[in-house]
Each structure stands twice: as C-alpha cells, then as structure tokens.
Amino acid sequence: MGDVTSRTDASAMNLHLKLRIQYDGTDFVGSQLQKKGRTVQGELEAALTRLAGEPVRVALAGRTDSGVHAWGQVASLDFPGKPRLSSPVDVQRALNAILPGDVAVTGAEIAPDAFHARFSARRRAYRYLIWNAPYPLPLLSRYSLHMRNKLDWEAMEQAASQLVGTHDFAAFAGSGMGVRDDETAEPGKPSTIRTMHVARILPVDPTADVRHWHGPEVQGSGAWDSSVPGMWALDLVANAFLPQMVRAITGTLLEVGQGKRTVENMSELIESRDRRAAGQTARAHGLCLMWVEY
C-alpha cells in the first residue's frame, strides 16, 4: 500500500513545463535532433535526463538551421518532479548549472496540460542582422552578415512591405521542403501558404547593449541614413515559416538593395511561386528566432 502512495505522490509532482531558451547557434548543426552533430534539443534532453534520472523528451516551437541563433526559442516538456526539483524555478536553475555555455534557459513556468511549444504557437518572429560597411565588425561577426557595398535600404523596405498579408510563399521555400497549394500539390507535404504580419527593415545601433539590437522590444535607432555605415535589421513576423524561408527572403531583398532586381519584382516573385526565380539563401549566422506568441 505504501508503494502505491509513493507512486501517486511522485506522479502528482510531474511538471508540464514551458521553457524559454536562448542559444548561440554557431556550433550547433540545428535545433532539432539529428543523427550526427550537436543540437539544441540534444543538449536540453541530455541535461533534463540527467536531472530526472529517466529520458525526457522536448518539443521546440521552431526548427532552426545550423548556425541560426535564438533569443526566445520555446520548449515544452513533461518533467518528473523530484523533491528538490519541484518547481519551474528549481528546474531552470538546475538546467543552467549543467548546460553548456552556448545554450541557457531564460525562463520557466507551468504550462496548461494541452500546451505544445510548436502546435500551440500563433506567431513567430525572426530577425536578420546585416552590417553594411566597408569594414567588418569582428565582435559581431557571429551574429550579423557583413555587406561591404552600400545597399539601398529604402528600396529593400518597400520590397519587404509587399510580403505582408496571406500569400503562397512557395518562391521562398527551401528546395523540396514545401509545395504549391493547388491541385497538383503532393499529398503529405505542407502547404506553402502563410500569413505575414510584419515585414520591416530598420536601423539598429550596434554600439548599444545587445538587448537593444537583439531583443524583442527593439524599435530601431532612429532616422534613416544609409550614407553612413550601420547595422540594419530585417524583422519578419508570421503565423509560421517554411524551411529556409527567412533566409531566402533576405537573399532576395539583398538583391533589391544591390540593384539586381526592382521593388516591383517582389510581388511578381510571390505570384510566380517559383523558388528558382528568387534570390540565394542568405547565410545562417545573421538569423535569430526572436520570440514566439501563444
């Protein structure tokens, strides 16, 4: 009878958790588990399993590629609570004591039973940072793309604004990672229709505290002045994103900024739904998952 009581008490301590995760993606092959290489999910699950004494699986809100960073990734999991790990704060502290230095839990709370980090998400926000100057910034090179030649940021902003709304974003889907949403769509593959809520470009002060250029509250650093070197941010907020979608959009907008395509070409490109017609996929290190809304 005592054994039954012990099992019941232990079950009552189980915690359904929502974690906020921050990581530097430079040395990860991605966020999701893979057969080879370090992953964010792998590090989290290894640490949680060590604390729990049994396997613990984690669900992440968004899949980030190798080299992509996160300011506000979200994870959901069931943690078998222990006497000394019986609250979200306890679990957060214990995790941060054993996780490697390039990943940390910045928040933890009890979540409703039905909460799932991926499937409960309503909107996701990404930011791509671009340092536009003749010279590099070595201390920020892990988190921003360096473009030496002057870019036409106003043209890029005009082109980006055409992304807002519900569109078929097949032109920006990674090769083979989405299908056009019509009668020829292959069963079992995801639709490429998404709703873009925000698509903007703004200047960011690279000398400010990191929270002021890579934090969710960023509003930009003031007036446009593309005649001087500066850090610029492309912000995209959508209900969901296709694989490599943000980086494909970034690569396309950079071609607008370089005068290789016109502002008007953006709407034509969306209508074409042809990935071959869009720009190259921008490098991963300038991209960061900022926040997830539920």
pLDDT tens digits, residue range 14-27?
A: 999 999 999 999 99
* pLDDT tens digits, one per residue of 193-226: 999 999 999 998 766 544 444 444 444 444 556 5
Residue 175's pLDDT is what?
Answer: 62
Confidence of residue 157 (pLDDT cuts 50, 70, 90): very high
Confidence of residue 228 (pLDDT cuts 50, 70, 90): low
Residue 267's pLDDT is what?
Answer: 94
Q: Which residues are identified as catalytic?
A: 65
Planar angle of CA 148, 154, 156, nearest 5 degrees: 70
- With H, G, I as helix, E, B as strand and everything else as coil, classify residue 268: helix
* HEC readout, 56-90: CCEEECCCCECCCEEEEEEEEEEECCECCECCHHH
Beta bridge partners of 104: 22
Instruction: Check residue 85 and report its DSSP letter.
Output: B
Residue 62's pLDDT is what?
Answer: 93
Instruction: Check residue 23 and report its DSSP letter.
Output: E
Confidence of residue 81 (pLDDT cuts 50, 70, 90): confident
* Spatial contact of 191 and 179, defined as CB atoms under 8 Å apart: yes
Lowest-pLDDT choice from 58-67, 94-103, 156-165, 167-176: 167-176
* Spatial contact of 232 and 153, defined as CB atoms under 8 Å apart: yes
Spatial neighbors of 210 by CB under 8 A, at least 6 apart, are: none
List, in sequence order, the alpha helices (H) in the chain: 2-12, 40-52, 88-98, 153-161, 211-214, 245-257, 265-272
The pLDDT of residue 165 is above 70: yes
Residue 190's pLDDT is what?
Answer: 72
Domains and CATH numbers, the chain: 2-110 (3.30.70.580), 123-293 (3.30.70.660)
Instruction: Check residue 120 and report its DSSP letter.
Output: T
Residue 163's pLDDT is what?
Answer: 97
What average pLDDT does this structure show over 33-43? 96
* pLDDT tens digits, one per residue of 170-188: 999 986 565 454 544 555 5
Q: Structure tokens of 120?
A: 């409960």
Q: Which helix (H) or strand (E) holds 273?
A: none
* Rounded-to-integer distance, Cα 245 and Cα 284, Å: 11
